[in-house]
Structure 1
């Protein structure tokens, strides 16, 4: 089996160096038929990740490839990674982000779950690592934690922060990341939904853990509300997907958005009245529903949040 580990990067030299060091330290019981390669796609027109990759390549345990993709946007970078993996005749591609680093047993756990399940997609766990000075309510509220499931559970969604994808499944269904979501994100949600619609399976590998470094610029309510708003944008796009010509779908989206705003707003006011400001994480949580509703409405009217125009962390 030929596996290619891929990460897109944009002006995060510290994060990229940390990622490559952790990948080099992976503990992998390599069977005779396993071949591993690593691909870093630099999405900066300045190609400033090249020096980091070349420095790491001198004693890297596997082939390390640098790819430049100057067209700005996460979809262009990830499609460039898929293309390079295909050129390397890979059977599977594994995506991880440049602000993450893997546990030593990460790749082994993904591969083991794929061998057992035969699924087209295997999703791993993402755990946040917060900087000093992060507000306690951010940590206790678990706003940056991904959902956890039983090992081997079948899922109805996935993301590219920690995932293995069988390339033959993508090729069989003619799928790549949709460039309409280059700056907004949500392209991974669309891709995995298309795979599910085509009859493929997504399973969870509980032991395949990566750690996400959360910068101070994200560990705050303003950023959380932007992320939740974007979640609504993606939900609206999913609802309209494949039904763009339907006249009632946009109206349905608006109603869904309004219902979420009303429900979340009511819960927010109730929490504020009952709890005051004593349990901020409990008061903030209903704002997820409010922001998601606003995001649904805004996206239906053609206004989406371009998250990938901003860079967080180094």
Structure 2
């Protein structure tokens, strides 16, 4: 919320950083965030900015890294419940006294003007959320096959474009508008991913606007272990799985959900077969692009089919935990405009 000092409305902004056992990444990120916070939150100015680190490690390993930067603008919170959704909800709770919550992942680095551009875009149109651009930076040379498949390509849109969904790795929320709609990140998706897709689609469904800001860019530091063919293809399967599960959660009821399962099965099968044909064409013609794009489409379709059957892939499962499980039978619908509720559903 805004507070008043004299005749100046002070907009409080919290920058939230979810983290889990990435001390080196966090150590590189925090100075950049604190610098941008200081630039926007000048004393006596319109904005008051703080940086919040939410640590999902039960051992609290990020506390020592945060302690290396002893400034009042930096806060630390430990969230023991596993999963990125629980961390994002904790950030929302910790930002209860702020008008805006800007989220950036701990393996990303903001480019100059990242925070300022998010806030300026919000000031111009007052949407419920502002989504920024994410660029990929690779630790080593990318496999030509993976590069040809454009697995790491992210969208770029004119600033001011309204979008229907957004990733939370570079996203700023109007906390008051989110609270008015009763929205939370679904903790049942904390280990499978897709919690930001469900949240952002529910935000739009309840009348909130998400506006794109192309000038607000963050760089995703892609480690070598994520640059392999196996990882990107597994990711394609996971995205198809999460996308279909999100559609099912947003369906209006049992009848609509059954119809969606039938349509989803058809779409998934079409992608599976069409992608396989493109892969075969690429193999015959020795085309990296057709091989990679074909397998990407095929695996995404397979993920959709598994979701229709109730199979959930836990992309962020901790070591020793199962990667696959069956979804529960109950999938309550997300709230609709005029009826604030919660996106929390049983996965």
Confirm or deny a common fold (TM above 0.5).
yes
**Structure 1 residues 22-46: Cα deviation after superposition (integer angstroms, max 9, x where no partner):** 2123273447221101111110111
Alignment of 1:254 onto 2:265: yes
Alignment-derived partner of residue 297 in structure 1: 305
C-alpha displacement at 1:215, in angstroms? 0.5
Counterpart Cα distance in 1 of 2:299 and 2:144? 22
C-alpha displacement at 1:168, in angstroms? 1.1
- The number of residue pairs the alignment matches comes to 303
Matches within 5 A, 1:103-252: 103-139=111-147, 141-241=149-249, 242-243=251-252, 245-246=254-255, 247-252=258-263
2:315 to 293, 307, 311: 307
**Structure 1 residues 183-217: Cα deviation after superposition (integer angstroms, max 9, x where no partner):** 00101000110111111111111110111100111
C-alpha displacement at 1:299, in angstroms? 1.3
Alignment-derived partner of residue 341 in structure 2: none
Alignment of 1:83 onto 2:93: yes
RMSD (Å) for aligned C-alpha atoms: 1.7
**Structure 1 residues 93-151: Cα deviation after superposition (integer angstroms, max 9, x where no partner):** 01100100101210001011111121111111111110124324434543213111112
Counterpart Cα distance in 2 of 1:216 and 1:80? 30
Counterpart Cα distance in 2 of 1:24 and 1:98? 14
Partner SS for 1:47: coil
Of residues 175-184 and 130-139 in structure 1, the stretch that sits farther from structure 2 once superposed is: 130-139
C-alpha displacement at 1:310, in angstroms? 5.4
Give yes or no for contact 2:194–2:246 (8 Å, CA) kept in 1: no
Give yes or no for contact 2:40–2:49 (8 Å, CA) kept in 1: no
Counterpart Cα distance in 2 of 1:266 and 1:287? 9
Partner SS for 1:209: strand
Give yes or no for contact 1:184–1:306 (8 Å, CA) kept in 2: yes
Partner SS for 2:213: strand
Counterpart Cα distance in 1 of 2:265 and 2:310? 12
Structure with greater contact order relative to length (CA < 8 Å, sep ≥ 6) = 1
Give yes or no for contact 1:243–1:249 (8 Å, CA) kept in 2: no
Unaligned runs of 5+ in 2: 1-10, 320-347
Partner SS for 1:307: coil
* Cα distance change, pair 140–259 in 1 and its aligned pair in 2 (3 A): closer
Unaligned runs of 5+ in 1: none
Alignment of 1:263 onto 2:274: yes
Give yes or no for contact 2:103–2:168 (8 Å, CA) kept in 1: yes
2:64 to 28, 43, 51: 51
Give the TM-score of the pair, scaled to structure 1.
Answer: 0.92
**Structure 1 residues 136-191: Cα deviation after superposition (integer angstroms, max 9, x where no partner):** 44345432131111121111210101011101111111001011101001010001
